[in-house]
Amino acid sequence: MAVFIFALLGIVLPLSENKNNISIFKYLPNIKLGLDIQGGSSLEYSMAIPEGARAEEIVNNVIAVLRRRLDSAGYTEAVVSEVVVGGERRVRVEIPGISDTRRAEELIGSKGKLYFAEVIETIESSTPPQITRNRKVKVDGKEIDLYSYVRDSRNPNVWYRVKNVFEFGTEPFQITGLDVTDARASLNPQGGGFVVNLSFSSQGKNKFELATANLIGKQIAIILDDEVIIAPVVRDKISEGRAEISGIESVQEAQNIAVLIKSGNLPVDLIKFQENTIGPTLGRDVVTTIVNAGIIGLVIVMVYMIIFYGWMGFVADIALLYNTLLLLGVLSWSGAILTLPGLAGIILTFGTTVDGNVIIYERIKEEIRVGRPPLTAIKFGFDKVFSTILDANITTVLAGIVLYFLTSGSIRGFAVTLIIGVLGSMFTNLVVTRVILEGSSNMIKPEKYLKGIVVGKGGNE
């Protein structure tokens, strides 16, 4: 019952301001539809490729980074591709299910340069302050300005004068995004708001330990794209290789920061060339036809199960509807984007749910034919097919997991609905169906399954 309520709330609660106006999805506003169903937005970027650089390699790296960023942010159905116009290489990003592309632009257009710096002073100014005396320091063969002013990301009038290079130890060094191996957004366990938990590489861990050991009581600015995310005070030497970016007010901001840090830096700057709103590639009539065909097929299967299995067939139909509701509820809660391959995954789960029930029912029929009463036959039937149902579904889930991690875009969307649907069908087959059948075993008529069976003196077939 708790699972049912959880799924139902995901469907009926106003979890987002999303609105669907296609077919049955009008009544499922919490499910985000993909580019091929309801359209979305298209962003096109040109790239500042340096002279003499290998353009093809840079473009491929840009596409890979953008793909990771979008997948991490939940835009698994987005399409990232290269387009060539008049000899100029551009990158096109098509994002389904959104009309406001501001958040996506933050993820796509940012080069994602992250580094840590010592805070020298903080000032308020409506104009960018200037460094009057500066010098350059060579780090890893590159000359870097030792001092600079960077703006606070939340207050454009607050500026930090920072020291970009740490001069501790034998050689000057920088701590950059390359020293961070992981970044995850989460609730702040010690108070309100959200945090981004950072994990450092072995080299980054040593750098961070050395820097924090020498800056106790001072601020370290965490800078992303020349803007200070936050400048916490160092309380102790941090030697575990883990740190927190705290003081973040919204989960969306925390997720954006985590995605940019985790997905890596873009090799070049992107310049937005154009932005368009695009319509569905399949067309509303085609989508409506597909959905209606799926519903008709579902009804035919449900009627067949009742005719062939009687009361047990009716219970199988309840389990099928339960699994469908569960799948839609999980999609609503998770915010996953549903496309045509995802619809195929849902329809496929109809078959897996019914298939599991058929295996169980045939085993129950065999138990009835050897003379066991319905309730005992149900218990024996479920016990004997448990491993078969479990093995069959786990292998499908494993295949879906492989698809999810080794692919992207629409294939990943298909894998998501397949995994959720198969796990749901396993739950409904082994739990929901069993509970209902055991509670209504008196509705099963043994004589229906004994026709044509000749029972010998020993009571065997």
C-beta atoms surrounding 302 within 10 Å: 19
What six digits make up the tokens of 363? 């085993």
Domain 40-107+266-278 and domain 284-449, same fold? Reply is no
Question: 284-449 maps to which CATH number?
Answer: 1.20.1640.10
Which range, 26-35, 71-80, 200-209, 446-455, has the best average confidence (pLDDT)? Answer: 200-209
Least confident of 16-30, 176-190, 304-318: 16-30
For 382-413, write each residue's pLDDT tens digit.
999 998 888 888 998 999 899 888 876 667 77
- Distance between CA atoms of 222 and 245, rounded to whole angstroms? 8
For the cut 70, the answer to whether the pLDDT of residue 103 exceeds it is no
Question: Which fold does the domain 40-107+266-278 belong to in CATH?
Answer: Alpha-Beta Plaits (3.30.70)
DSSP 164-195: -SB--SSS-B-EEGGGEEEEEEEE-TTSSSEE
> Domain residues of the chain, as ranges?
40-107+266-278, 112-260, 284-449
pLDDT at 215: 94
What six digits make up the tokens of 351? 């078959």
Which residues, in sequence order, are CB contacts of 96 under 8 Å at separation 6+? 32, 33, 34, 35, 36, 37, 38, 39, 40, 75, 77, 78, 337, 339
Least confident of 172-181, 217-226, 269-278, 301-310: 269-278
DSSP 23-81: GGGGG-TTSEE-HHHH-EEEEEEEE-PPTTS-HHHHHHHHHHHHHHHHHHTT-TT-EEE
For the cut 70, the answer to whether the pLDDT of residue 230 exceeds it is yes
Question: Which fold does the domain 112-260 belong to in CATH?
Answer: Gyrase A; domain 2 (3.30.1360)
For the chain, what is the mean pLDDT?
82
First to last CA, the chain: 40
Q: What percent of the chain has pLDDT over 70?
A: 87
pLDDT at 379: 92
For 13-56, write each residue's pLDDT tens digit.
766 656 666 767 777 777 777 767 777 778 888 888 877 778 88
Amino acid at site 243: A
pTM over 0.75? The answer is: no
Query: For residue 406, how many C-alpha atoms fall within 13 Å in the half-sphere facing its CB?
Result: 6
Cβ–Cβ < 8 Å for 197, 183: yes
Which residues, in sequence order, are CB contacts of 4 under 8 Å at separation 6+? 322, 325, 326
Cβ–Cβ < 8 Å for 245, 228: no
